[in-house]
Amino acid sequence: MKTLVDYVRSGEPDLTNRQMALLLLVYLVPGPHTVRGLAAKLQVSKPVVTRALNRLGTLGYLRRQRDDSDKRNIFIARTDEGAQFLGEFEQFLSAAADQQGRPAAAGA
Indicate which CATH number applies to the domain containing 52: 1.10.10.10
104 within a domain of the structure (yes/no): no
53 within a domain of the structure (yes/no): yes
In total, how many domains does the chain have? 1
Q: What are phi and psi of 62, to 5 degrees?
A: -140, 160
Q: Please state, in angstroms and rounded to a whole number, the distance separating the CA atoms of residues 78 and 4.
A: 25
* Confidence (pLDDT) at 7: 78
59 within a domain of the structure (yes/no): yes
Whether the Cβ atoms of residue 61 and residue 81 lie closer than 8 Å to each other: yes
Closest by Cα among 40, 34, 48 to 77: 34
Query: 0.75 cut: is pTM over it?
Result: yes
Q: Please state, in angstroms and rounded to a whole number, the distance separating the CA atoms of residues 15 and 61.
A: 11
Half-sphere exposure of 8 (CA within 13 A, CB side): 6
* Confidence (pLDDT) at 23: 96
- pLDDT tens for 30-83 read 989 999 999 999 999 999 999 999 999 999 999 999 888 887 888 999 999 999
